[in-house]
Structure formats: C-alpha cells, structure tokens
Amino acid sequence: MTFGSASPFGATNFTLELWFKKQGAGIATSTGTGGVTAVPLITKGMAQSDGSTLDANYFLGIDSATKVLAADFEDLNNGLNHPVLGKTIICDNIWYHAAVTYDSTTGTWRVYLNGDLETELVVSGTGNVRIPRFDSIQWPALGTALQSGGTVSGQTQGFFKGQMDEVRIWNIARSQTDIRSTMGGPMLIAQTGLLARFGLDDGSGLVAVNSAGATNGTLSGGATPPAFIAGGSGYAPSAIVGNQGLRLAPTSATVGDYVTFGAATATLGTPIFTVEARFRKEGTGFTTSTGTGGVTAIPLVTKGTAEAEGSNKDMNYFLGISSTGVLAADFEEGATGASPGLNHPILGTTPIVNNVWYTAAVTYDGSKLQLYLNGAPEGTALTVNQPPRADSIQHAGIGTSLTSTGTVSGFFAGTIDEARIWNYARSAQQILAGTGREIPTAPGLLGRWGFNECCGRVMDTSGHIPLVTAVVPSITTATNWVTTPDLLSVVNTAPSVDAGFDSFAAFPTAALTGSVVDDGVDTGTPLSSLWSKTSGPGTVTFANPAAPITTATFSTVGTYVLTLTANDGELTASDSVTIQVQSTGTNLPPTANAGPDQVVTFPAPASLAGSYTDDGLPGFDVNTTWSFVSGPGTVTIAQPFELNTTATFSAPGTYVLKLTADDTALSGSDTVTITVAAAATNYAIDFNGSNAYVTMGVAPGLGASVFTLEAWIKREGTGIATSTGTGGLTAIPIVTKGMAQADGSNLDMNYFLGIDSTGVLAADFEEGATGASPGLNHPVKGATPISSNIWHHVAATYDGSAWRLYLDGNFDNAGGQPLVVGQPPRADSIQHAAIGTALGSGGVVGSGTQGFFNGTIDEVRIWNVARSQQQIQGGMSGEVSSDPTLLGRWGLNEGTGVAPKQVADGSGHGITGTVNGTFAWVSGAPFSAPNHAPGAPVLGAPSVAATGVASPATLNVSVSDSDGDPLTVTYYGRKKPTAAPDFTYVTIPDTQHYVDNTSFPATFTAQTNWIVANRGALNIAFVSHLGDVV
C-alpha cells in the first residue's frame, strides 16, 4: 500500500503499530549500511543514499535472519542507521500486535509485542545524531519499502506476505500503558498525535481510508494487488491451547537448540534450591563437563558449567543426564565454603531410555543433595554441608549449559516440558505431588517454563524472568513446539478464605469465626491457616492462631483489623475482619507511648513523636503534656501539649522527658531518653569494606520522589559491589535506600548512589507504581574516575525528570548532559536505608551479593529537593545542621563506640542510624570546596579603541567569582608601537648557476653590489637566495 510522497507522515518522534499475521516468508529489503535486512511492515524509506533527504525516516519490519521484530531510522546528522531488534520469533499464521516507539529527546527505542516490552535501547550521541530524517522524501508504505519517487533502485524491493489490520502512525512516542489500553479495538476517533490510521475495513476497491487524515492509501501490486478480506485480527493475539513441550534437536557438539536467560544472578541465583524438569530423551545429545571432580553429562536445566575455580564464574547448579545414562546433578562450592570452587556431584541409578517421559528433580537444603525420578528419591542423598555459588554470573539455560559470557557447551536432544527452579528444597511429598501437573506460579518459584506458547516465545509464568531475557537462538519455526502428554487437567487454585463478619466486642475478648475452603489438589503440603494483627492500638493474643475459629484477646480498646491467611503449600489467600473493641464500663488509665530513645547532636533539636491509647471513658478528650524529668541543662519544648513536637537543649548530656496522657479522671505516662551528643569535633567512619555499614531501618521518612544524595568519601580499597537489579548497576554502595530484590512492588529501590566497576560515580532508582514501567531501573553514570585516598564530595540529584551527578561540585554526567528519565522513583519503598551498603526489606540483602564500601564516609545528607549545582557547591564547605528540605543528615561525629553504635540524625527528624560490623572512628572530611576560576573580566570603560580619553584615564572592569572568594584585579599596559616603515625583500634565484661559466660570477657580484648600494634607500630588510648552496 502506498501513499505518494505523503510529507505529513514525517516525524522526529514516532509510534508505529499494527496487528499482523505472517503467512509466508515474504521478501526482505535493506535499510542501508549498518541497518537491518527485514520484511517491511510500516515504512517511510529504505536504503538509497546517506546524508540527505533520501535517508529513511522510519522502518518497522521482521528481521530476515532472526525472525524477530526489527526497526530502524537514518539520522539527520549524516544518515547513520540506528537499528533495534525485538526478542520473540514471529511465526506463521498467528495474529500479533506490534508497536515500536522512538523518543528523540532521550534517544530511546522501545519495541513491544502484544503490549509486552521486548527491547529498550538508547541511541548513543547527542543532537542530530538522535533525530530521525523527518524531512525524508522517500515514500511511506505498508507491506513494502520505497525510495524517493515511489520506486526501488539498486536494492531488492521487500514485500510482506500475510494480513494486516488496524495500522497506526503517530508523531509521538506512546507509553506502554497507552499502547496496551488501545490495542484491543479499533481507534474510531482521531487522537492527538495520530498522523494516520487505517482500519482496513473498506471491504473492496483499491483505496484504504485514512480515518485520521486526508492522505488515503492505494493498494498496489500490478495485476494482483492486495485484497480486503473478512475476519481480521479480532484485536487479540491468536489463542494457543493445549499442553506443549519444546523439542531441542542439536546438530553437533557446538550447534544446537537451547533456551538461555542470561546471567540472571539476582533472580535465578540461589544457595538452596529445587530444580525440576519433565523430559523425553529422543537422541544421544552432547555431553559437557561441570569441572574437575564434577560430572560429564547432557544438560537439562543449568546455571553454569566448567569455566573457572574459586570465583563467581563457578557453577550454581546443574541437572542433567550423565554419560552413563542416569540422572546427574552438581554444584560448585561458594566463596564462604571450605573449598571454594569444589564440585559436589551426585548420580542416579535408573537408566534413562529414549522416547519415554520422565520427571527429574534435584534438591539442596544447604546440607544434603538429593535426586528424584518420577517423584521418587533416586539413590542415596549426598551430604555436603557447603554453600553453592549463588552469586555465579554464569548464564542460566535449558537444554544446554553456559559460561559467564554465554558460550554454550553440551546439548540435550529431545523434548522438555514444565521446567522449574525454586529457592528452597522441596520435600519428597511436594515433589511427588507436583510431578503430574503444571504449577504456573507459587511462592518460592524463581522461574517456571511450561512451553505452552507453541511458537516464538518462552515465558516465565512465575513473573520473575522478563520475556525479553528468554532467548531460543536457533529456533525459528513452530516445529520445535510439539504436543506433549497432558498433565493433570486440574489446576491448583488458592484457598478460599472468609475471616467472618465485622463486629463489636466487649473488652478484652472477641470470638473469631473464620473459615477456609481448599480445592483439594494435592500439593504435598497440608493446608494451614494463621491469624495475625494487621492494625490496632494494642496487642492481640490469639487462643489458637492456626485455627480459623478461635478467640482473640486485646490489650486495650479500639478498632482492630485482623487477617486470616491460608496456605496450601503453593498458593496463599487472605481475608480481613474489623473488630471494634469497646469498654465494659470500668475506666482504665490511658496508655502513653513517648517513642523510642534517640540521639541528637548539639545544638540540633529532638523530634518528639508520642502516642496514646484509651478506653474512651469517662467520655472526655484525653489531654497530653510533655515535661522535663532530668538532664544537665534546660529544655525548651516547642508545643508541650502536642503529641508531635520538638525539644531543644541548652547543653549536651543525657535528658529524660515524660509524656503524660490524662482522661480527666486517670492518667498514664511514659518517658523517653534523649542523648544530646557534644558537637564539634569532626569525625568520620572508616568502613572496612567487608561487613561495616550504617542502617537507618525502613525509614519511610527518607522516601522521596525528588531528592539529592550527598556525602564526603575517601575510597581506600575496592570494596564489594552489589546489584540494583536487571537493567541497573553493579556498583559499590555509598548512600542507598534499596537494591535488587523484586520488581513492580514496594520492594523496589528508591535510590542508590555508589561507584561502578570503572571507578566513576553511578546512581539508580526503580520506577514507582504510577510510572510507565513499574520496577524498571533508570541508571546513570559519571565521567571522572574517583581517585583513591583523597577526599571527594559526591552528589546525585533527581528532579522528577532528569538525573545529575556531581563530583567535587562539578557536573559529572557521562556524555556531559543530564539523563532525562521523566518517571517517578519508588518513594514508598520498604527497603532499608543505609550508608556504606545496600539493603532489601527486612534489613537484609535483597538478592545477590551484599555490597560494602571500603574507605571513609562523612557528612551524609538526603534532601527532598533536587539541589542546584550552586547550592551543592555552597554546602560542601561545612556541616549542615538543619534545613526544611533536609530529610536526614548524619555528621558521624560521635567519635567513640563499637558496633552496634547509634549515630545521630542532625536534621532533627530523629532517624537514628546504627553502625554494624568492624569500623573505626577517624578524622572527618576537610570540607574544602574546590576552587573554580573567576569569570573573565567584562570591560566597562574606556571602550576598545576609544579616542579622546583624558589623562590620567580611569579604567573600569566588572569581575566575578562563583566561589565568592576575594578577587584582586591587576592592569597591565604597554606602549602602542608606531606603524613600521615600508621595507624591501630581495631574492636571488638559482645561485648555484653563478659558477657554471666565466661570465656568471660577474653578474652575481653586480647584483650583490646593488643590494649594498640600495640598502638604506630601499630599506632592504632581508636577502635570501634559492637553489643549491654550493
């Protein structure tokens, strides 16, 4: 389909989307040198010429080699191609929705298939390098690609074979949410940014109406143009039903089919595990070695192979079939084991024969390694009592094993189905119960692949491994997916839980009448239930917390929410009930809570956060009062009758304050101890790089959607790096609130500032719930390596739109520009805040290796604003006591004490840190801001080349200095030279010829005498001669 020149279709930002069904190979064409060779879908241009309006504006198609989506554009700078590829193989006779977006402001490509993000790629460079050739005079088209004039010369013309539906061309980069929300139906009303929309519902003729504009399409193709047919996509991907398996057919020891998920260290790495697979061996396959002292085996499900010893290139786990034809498993010992890198193999006893379905499993509980075949223990368990290499960076795979760089070794020949990796050792009963059925998702399931997709994609139904990381490199047709014997048709569903009706109860007990109903599917684990308190003013004691019907006893009156949770061993469900506990008529004194003890640094105030509970009797409001109990100085309480207020102290020391709650008849009180540390001496903490860190706990008060992170650091060693998640960083942590743990929930990271493996600053956050892609990492790196054993000031800011890094007050982003993100961080993260490490929820490492900073850290600050460069430079020169936008500040000036040692929050918010591990108190940062050169003087008077200036002249210039330092101005002068007189330059040519015969020397003598005679009159300044000087 063609549209003529159709200049309205040109775009610098764009979204191309359509429904399509491929029904044959088609013919591929080229987008140019460095571009793609692909079957065209939606195009405006192709290979023709570089660096002019004959470049391509955009191209969406199907790559001829890999059969995945492919897109490209040529840039406005010099016509360079910028291709991007998808991940999922496009198979015949299946309806797909394809979309590709490009945002020239950030240089970001995004490829979507059926609404799922397949690839995100940032184009390197700036300016016109990132701008597509929007003024291209090449023609737009559907199903082909055209050069200028609507023809093709010097290239093969490409053609799509199949059906298209609901084609749209936009001049904006749409979000994933927008694409998903509108892919399920026709777009009958024009939208902002929609250049063209072809519903292709015209039915007959050769014209396709553009419902979004005036430029219609013409069906072209000579005697057999495209035709409108009934049916269409239905605006939904083709349904694939039935149990499928993946057939792998290697052709040599180096070429074969397999599935890989990349390193997946944070998601598939685990120190205890269960690895399972259902398989049918259909050929010999090719073995590989797991290393010295390991096994030689055909791989089934693996994370690693023989590569190196005693490093993160060791193997995490391996399940396969040994060269002797029995099950085999192995792992290599981790860094904390007795013999890092040592193999721990185990072999089964039952021969595996061809063309028979088996279910294999291996479990390791930290002590014993056990094989299972068809749900029964296979052989004797192997006692190991050593940790596997859970932080292995070797790639995970199915049907092969891979090194840390993705090099394959060994291939399984046959069909694999229902592969699972768990982060715990399942019991024999659980393994047996799971042998005959599919388990799409369950707690502890790190990854599960049922291979029911039938073509093109391999999806982890547990949701932990993104679709884009599942790669089947050599599988390009649906023939690799085969029907497998049906597993049990029953699918386990979560228990049905009813916590009962909301009710009133007389203090202090209430009857709970919950119920739990299960579907009866055997999971190998008995159904269990548990009552817990979700909220309420006091404590709750359950007579039998494991029984749905029981009683609860409350410590005080008030409104409580109780939750009943049921677990069938794989799935959980819960329901809550609200109980309003009322007084029985006897007035009880209020219960006061003055909050936890805290440490502040003089003269910073302490934040008081009190609370109370009461039975509501005798019916009057409860009055609260803060008062001074003891201490070496005086205390000023800002608002003594408010629960939340501040207290300032006249001198350092230990103070006790009391909160009293009075219901007019009875009263109750509680005290809080506040240690006011002496200010002044400048200390810092020297972290040992292996176990020392400061934790502030979950610290919701440090959550921020815009922020500035600052610290003075002196790096003294390598330290240990940690991961911020898939697509994030591997870096040494400095100031953090989170790390790699889970995606798309409040277990995502709020912010991370550290040093990457190249020694430059690095920062990251994971996208919040209201972002376009919750859980997506947005890393940024600096440009300048951080030198060791020298104090540096480091800072990172995010203003809701862009990242900025600063080193010693200087802007330090790689590439010299702010990194635009435009998405919200996970400000409600429940991961813990820390200094010198990064922590997950619960205050432990989220996943992978715990990172540690090696060196000294001082004056850590977290702000709820993105501070300007001028503010950062101004704040480097000293300690900051308080500021309205300061969420937390740790001067680390305590100077004494060992772990666990509390360190005060100098911002006044009371977010006290705790130092753990081996550390030392040392002298603090110098707080010396770097000196910047003054600005160039600006001339005031007199002006350049001024005339008539009186003597003595008054000279005036304006000077400035960004550091605010005193300036000295010095003037320099010289006498203006008078104009030089005219002069003569003499050249005597070919002087070697003056000795050729007897007459020439006389000529030379005459010439030189003339020069001497006219030297003064002609002001002869210089004489030269040319030729050979002999």
> Could you read off the pLDDT of 305-323 as tens digits, one per residue?
999 999 999 999 999 999 9
pLDDT tens profile 45-63:
999 999 999 999 999 999 9
Predicted confidence at residue 42, as pLDDT, reads: 97
DSSP structural state of residue 75: B
C-alpha to C-alpha distance for 428 and 422, rounded to whole angstroms: 14
C-alpha to C-alpha distance for 665 and 588, rounded to whole angstroms: 9
Which residues lie closer than 8 Å to 40 by C-beta, 6 or more apart? 29, 46, 59, 60, 61, 141, 143, 144, 145, 158, 159, 160
C-alpha to C-alpha distance for 526 and 549, rounded to whole angstroms: 18
C-alpha to C-alpha distance for 438 and 448, rounded to whole angstroms: 9
Q: Are 387 and 334 in contact (CB under 8 A)?
A: yes
pTM, two decimals, is 0.51
Q: What is the mean pLDDT of the chain?
A: 90
**Mean local confidence (pLDDT), 925-946:** 77
Predicted confidence at residue 935, as pLDDT, reads: 79
C-alpha to C-alpha distance for 514 and 708, rounded to whole angstroms: 48
Q: Class assignment of domain 7-218?
A: mainly beta
**Is residue 697's pLDDT more than 50?**
yes
pLDDT tens profile 252-301:
888 888 888 888 888 899 999 999 999 999 999 999 999 999 999 999 99
pLDDT tens profile 898-915:
888 999 998 888 899 999
Predicted confidence at residue 244, as pLDDT, reads: 82
**Is residue 881's pLDDT more than 70?**
no
User: Residue 123 is encoded by which pair of tokens?
Assistant: 């184009």
Residues constituting the chain: 1030
Fold observed for domain 591-677:
Immunoglobulin-like (2.60.40)
State percent of the chain over pLDDT 90. 66
Predicted confidence at residue 242, as pLDDT, reads: 64
Predicted confidence at residue 237, as pLDDT, reads: 82
Predicted confidence at residue 582, as pLDDT, reads: 83
Fold observed for domain 683-923:
Jelly Rolls (2.60.120)
Q: Are 160 and 144 in contact (CB under 8 A)?
A: yes
**Is residue 1029's pLDDT more than 70?**
no
Which residues lie closer than 8 Å to 343 by C-beta, 6 or more apart? 290, 291, 292, 293, 294, 295, 315, 330, 331, 332, 333
C-alpha to C-alpha distance for 317 and 298, rounded to whole angstroms: 14
**Is residue 168's pLDDT more than 80?**
yes
**Mean local confidence (pLDDT), 770-779:** 94
Amino acid residing at 36: V
Predicted confidence at residue 470, as pLDDT, reads: 47
Confidence of residue 933 (pLDDT cuts 50, 70, 90): low
Fold observed for domain 244-483:
Jelly Rolls (2.60.120)
**Mean local confidence (pLDDT), 742-762:** 94
Select the more confidently predicted residue: 1015 or 39. Answer: 39
Which residue, among 169, 167, 162, 82, has the nearest Cα to 124 in the 3D structure?
82
Predicted confidence at residue 239, as pLDDT, reads: 64
Longest CA–CA span in the chain (Å) reads 145
C-alpha to C-alpha distance for 687 and 238, rounded to whole angstroms: 57
**Mean local confidence (pLDDT), 774-783:** 96
Predicted confidence at residue 773, as pLDDT, reads: 93
Residue 8, CA distances (Å) to 196, 216, 271, 567, 847 in order = 9, 12, 58, 59, 50
pLDDT tens profile 461-490:
888 886 544 445 545 455 677 888 767 667
β-pair type (707-715, 693-697): unpaired
Which residue, among 389, 375, 370, 395, has the nearest Cα to 302 in the 3D structure?
395
Which residues lie closer than 8 Å to 512 by C-beta, 6 or more apart? 499, 500, 531, 542, 548, 549, 550, 551, 552, 562, 564, 577
Confidence of residue 456 (pLDDT cuts 50, 70, 90): low
**Is residue 545's pLDDT more than 60?**
yes
Alpha-carbon torsion angle 130, 134, 136, 139, nearest 10: 120
Q: Of 371-380, 638-647, 799-808, 942-951, which gets the smallest average pLDDT?
A: 942-951
Q: For domain 496-582, which architecture applies?
A: Sandwich (2.60)
